[in-house]
Amino acid sequence: MNQIVPVEPAYPETWFLGVKLADLDVAAAARAIVARPAGAGFAYVVTPNAQHMVALHNGAPDLQAAYDAAWLRLSDSQVVRLLGQHLFGMALPSCAGSDLTAALFANHIQAADTICVIGGDDELRDRLIAQYGLQRLSLHQPPMGFIKDPAAVQAALDFVAAHPSRYIFLAVGQPRGEILARLLKERGDITGTGLCIGSSLHFITGLVQRAPEWMRRYALEWLHRLIRSPRTHFRRVFIESLPLLGMAVRARLAPESRRHLPRRGKTPA
* pLDDT tens, residue by residue, 192-242: 999 998 889 999 999 988 877 877 777 777 777 778 788 877 777 788 788
Task: Give the DSSP per-residue string, 62-120.
Answer: HHHHHHHH-SEE----HHHHHHHHHHH--------HHHHHHHHHHHT--TTSEEEEES-
Q: Residue 24: which of 35, 113, 169 has the closest Cα?
A: 35
Tens of pLDDT, residues 80-102? 888 998 888 888 888 999 999 99
- How many angstroms separate the CA atoms of 68 and 70, rounded? 6
DSSP structure class, residue 10:
P
Residue 190 in 3-state DSSP?
coil
Q: Considering the entire predicted model, what is its pTM? A: 0.87
pLDDT at 7: 54
Q: What are the Cα distances from residue 72, in Å, to 41, 143, 161, 205? A: 15, 28, 22, 25
Averaged pLDDT for residues 30-36? 95
Q: How many CB atoms lie within 10 A of CB 11?
A: 16
Angle, helix 61-69 to helix 50-58, in steps of 10 degrees:
120
Strand partners, 191: 41
Lowest-confidence pick of 35-49, 76-90, 245-259:
245-259
With H, G, I as helix, E, B as strand and everything else as coil, classify residue 165.
coil
Residue 96 to residue 113: CA distance in whole angstroms? 23
227: Cβ contacts below 8 Å, ≥ 6 apart: none
Share of the chain above pLDDT 70, in %: 91
Helices (H), the chain: 26-35, 50-58, 61-69, 78-88, 97-107, 122-132, 150-162, 176-187, 200-204, 213-217, 221-228, 230-235, 243-253
In the predicted model, is pLDDT for residue 258 greater than 80? Answer: no
User: Is residue 1 classed as helix, strand or coil in its secondary structure?
Assistant: coil
From 40-49, 66-75, 233-242, the region with the lowest mean pLDDT: 233-242
Residue 177 pLDDT > 60, yes or no? yes
pLDDT of amino acid 36: 93
Of residues 226, 232, 244, the one with CA closest to residue 79: 244
Helix/strand/coil for 227: helix
Q: Which amino acid is at 54?
A: V
